[in-house]
């Protein structure tokens, strides 16, 4: 038996221990698992589409200080999640962790809160692509870009992502691998272009760390905190490495590293990109007041044709990001439906016999994401003077939904450890050792803080939307949960101790291991 066949058998047995059959095609390597999270984080999407938001509220200092601050704390969150992915390697990820560590009700709420965040992130990413692509197309074909044309572009982009995800994981995995390298190459092209071809040269480095300047009506420190949405939304979606864990070879090591390194590399490359973009600014006030601050800055720095080429390259990177986000969202929905957590679960849990993908879950993800943006379109049509922007609304919904879902299993793990239900012997090969509790506590503090900041004025509309979704969730609890949801098989069929006993039996049957440690 070759090494790959051995891994496939071991990975299948690992999944069987949690009560699930191997239905999805397990073909992702370590780089592919990293690439899907790196592509969803997409520094060429979050940092770029919300560049104007960050500049308006925090000025140049938002890029010099805001980005590193957010990245540092998100790495604590990513490390805590990676540890759980190694211990419980199922596609349900967050909600399976919550159900095993506490009970099925906690798992159910975690799943739905995560779904809310996933709807927001898919809608936010593809709307970002439309915000860049539509003005560029308008300049070529001579029409005027407006909310309606952006919505049409958004719909077409969603459809392309749905079709490709339906066709098969092999194509998407290859595109994700390409996307990771593409992001790095385009950042390099952008940085070199700005470094050597910016008209009039770059500002001095100290401009990057200029604080006290805001183009909002808020006091600077308060405005700076609001501006953190730019970086915070960028660092979302890295749970994709966990959602595709049943399609990853040797997932208990590769998926945790995918989660953690996707954040770390995004921090480094994102800071480099933002530094040069910000140092090329000629008039920060004019950039902050432009319809699209990033397009304005690049056009001013590099000129018409060259600037347009760079912007098209950036837009393509955003498109790859949206493709990956649909993959992650549909896998989470598939896993939840497999456990009968959603109305019509039997439909969303179906796997295409031809393509081995959760086809119906993919298209439901497309529809839900479209509806969130469409509802906002209707609101803006009725009230065109609304102070918030569509992209800020969508991104804030995704940040709060996802980070609350990230925080629940981290908190439950701390509680389970305190009561003795989760012990060191239950950890996977990738773990944080003696620093686990401290890292988890810091992660939780940051999650609470950032969720509050994301729904205060001027973005209170996102808070209202989340509150409305939670009301619907409570209604569903009463109408659906009690009658239909038995809980995930991962929690029904076993406990952490039983999982450990099964694993030890499998390891004994396979023979001694090499003893390689993956502690960090």
DSSP string, 409-423: HHHHHHHHHHTTSS-
Assign 3-state DSSP to the chain and report helix, strand, coil percentages, each to 5.
75, 0, 25
Give the pLDDT band (50/70/90) at residue 338. confident
The predicted pLDDT at position 329 comes to 86
The 3-class secondary structure across 54-102, one letter per residue, is HHHHHCCHHHHHHHHHHHHHHHHHHHHHHHHHHHCCCCCCHHHHHHHHC
- pLDDT, average across residues 250-277: 94
The predicted pLDDT at position 265 comes to 95
- Asked if 260 and 84 touch (Cβ cutoff 8 Å), the reply is no
- Asked if 207 and 284 touch (Cβ cutoff 8 Å), the reply is no
Q: Identify the burial level of 511 via C-beta atoms within 10 angstroms of its C-beta, where 0-12 means exposed, 13-18 middle and 19 or more buried.
A: exposed
The predicted pLDDT at position 496 comes to 63
The predicted pLDDT at position 118 comes to 87
Lowest pLDDT segment from 95-109, 321-335, 380-394: 380-394
Lowest pLDDT segment from 48-57, 103-112, 180-189, 281-290: 103-112
| Phi and psi, residue 28, nearest 5° | -80, 130
Question: Which residue has 């006290």 as its token pair?
Answer: 212
- Asked if 246 and 91 touch (Cβ cutoff 8 Å), the reply is yes
Report the alpha-carbon distance of residue 122 to residue 366 in Å, rounded.
Answer: 8
The predicted pLDDT at position 518 comes to 47
The answer, yes or no, to whether residue 411 has pLDDT greater than 70, is yes
Give the pLDDT band (50/70/90) at residue 213. very high
- Spatial neighbors of 419 by CB under 8 A, at least 6 apart, are none
Query: Which is higher by pLDDT, 95 or 431?
Result: 431
The predicted pLDDT at position 512 comes to 44
The answer, yes or no, to whether residue 489 has pLDDT greater than 80, is no
Residues belonging to the chain:
520
The answer, yes or no, to whether residue 34 has pLDDT greater than 50, is yes
The answer, yes or no, to whether residue 41 has pLDDT greater than 50, is yes
The predicted pLDDT at position 251 comes to 85
Instruction: State both tokens at 261.
Output: 């390194």
- pLDDT, average across residues 425-447: 94
- Picking from 365, 312, 298, 386, the residue whose alpha carbon sits closest to that of residue 129 is 312
Query: Which is higher by pLDDT, 8 or 485?
Result: 485
Instruction: State both tokens at 250.
Output: 């040797």
The predicted pLDDT at position 485 comes to 78
Lowest pLDDT segment from 223-232, 291-300, 368-377, 488-497: 488-497
Lowest pLDDT segment from 158-162, 175-179, 299-303: 175-179
Instruction: State both tokens at 187.
Output: 């950042």
Give the pLDDT band (50/70/90) at residue 240. confident
Instruction: State both tokens at 195.
Output: 């470094």
The predicted pLDDT at position 64 comes to 96
The answer, yes or no, to whether residue 503 has pLDDT greater than 70, is no
Report the alpha-carbon distance of residue 234 to residue 71 in Å, rounded.
Answer: 9
Give the pLDDT band (50/70/90) at residue 315. very high
The predicted pLDDT at position 259 comes to 95
- At CA 399, angle to CA 49 and CA 89, rounded to 5? 115
- Spatial neighbors of 269 by CB under 8 A, at least 6 apart, are 43, 183, 184, 187
Q: Can you name the residues that pair with 28 across neighbouring β-strands? A: 248
Q: With the CA atoms of 349, 355, 359 and 363 taken in that order, what torsion angle do they form, in degrees rounded to the nearest 10?
A: 160
Question: Which residue has 């596609």 as its token pair?
Answer: 91
Report the alpha-carbon distance of residue 336 to residue 49 in Å, rounded.
Answer: 31
Whole-number average pLDDT of the chain: 85
């Amino acid at each position: 038996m070759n090494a790959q066949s051995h891994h496939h058998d071991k990975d299948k047995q690992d999944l069987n221990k949690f009560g699930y059959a191997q239905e999805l095609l397990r073909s992702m390597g370590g780089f592919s698992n990293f690439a899907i999270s790196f592509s969803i984080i997409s520094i060429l999407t979050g940092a770029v589409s919300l560049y104007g938001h960050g500049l308006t509220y925090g000025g140049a200092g938002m890029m010099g200080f805001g980005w590193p601050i957010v990245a540092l704390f998100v790495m604590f969150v990513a490390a805590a999640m990676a540890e759980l992915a190694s211990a419980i390697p199922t596609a349900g990820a967050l909600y399976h962790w919550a159900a095993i560590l506490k009970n099925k009700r906690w798992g159910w709420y975690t799943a739905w809160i995560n779904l809310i965040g996933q709807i927001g992130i898919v809608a936010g990413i593809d709307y970002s692509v439309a915000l860049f692509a539509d003005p560029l197309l308008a300049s070529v074909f001579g029409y005027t870009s407006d909310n309606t044309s952006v919505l049409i572009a958004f719909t077409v982009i969603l459809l392309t992502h749905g079709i490709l995800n339906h066709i098969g994981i092999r194509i998407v995995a290859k595109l994700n691998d390409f996307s990771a390298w593409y992001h790095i190459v385009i950042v390099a092209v952008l940085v070199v272009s700005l470094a050597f071809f910016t008209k009039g040269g770059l500002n001095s480095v100290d401009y990057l760390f200029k604080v006290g300047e805001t183009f909002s009506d808020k006091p600077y420190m308060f405005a700076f905190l609001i501006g953190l949405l730019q970086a915070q939304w960028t660092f979302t979606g890295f749970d994709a490495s966990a959602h595709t864990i049943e399609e990853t070879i040797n997932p208990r090591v590769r998926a945790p590293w995918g989660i953690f390194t996707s954040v770390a590399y995004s921090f480094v490359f994102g800071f480099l990109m933002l530094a040069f973009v910000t140092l090329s600014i000629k008039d920060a006030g004019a950039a902050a007041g432009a319809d699209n601050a990033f397009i304005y800055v690049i056009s001013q720095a590099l000129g018409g044709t060259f600037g347009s080429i760079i912007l098209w390259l950036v837009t393509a990177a955003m498109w790859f990001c949206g493709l990956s986000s649909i993959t992650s969202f549909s896998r989470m929905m598939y896993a939840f439906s497999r456990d009968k957590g959603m109305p019509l679960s039997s439909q969303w849990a179906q796997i295409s016999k031809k393509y081995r993908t959760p086809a119906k879950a993919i298209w439901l993800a497309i529809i839900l994401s479209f509806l969130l943006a469409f509802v906002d379109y209707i609101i803006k049509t009725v009230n065109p003077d609304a102070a918030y922007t569509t992209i800020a609304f969508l991104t804030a919904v995704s940040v709060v939904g996802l980070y609350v879902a990230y925080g629940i299993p981290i908190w439950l793990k701390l509680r389970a450890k305190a009561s003795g239900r989760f012990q060191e012997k239950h950890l996977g090969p990738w773990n944080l050792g003696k620093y686990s509790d401290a890292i988890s506590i810091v992660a939780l503090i940051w999650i609470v803080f950032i969720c509050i900041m994301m729904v205060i004025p001027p973005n209170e509309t996102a808070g209202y939307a989340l509150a409305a979704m939670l009301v619907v969730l409570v209604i569903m609890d009463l109408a659906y949960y009690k009658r239909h949801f038995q809980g995930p098989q991962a929690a029904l069929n076993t406990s952490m101790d039983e999982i450990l006993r099964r694993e030890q039996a499998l390891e004994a049957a396979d023979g001694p291991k090499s003893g390689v440690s993956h502690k960090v």
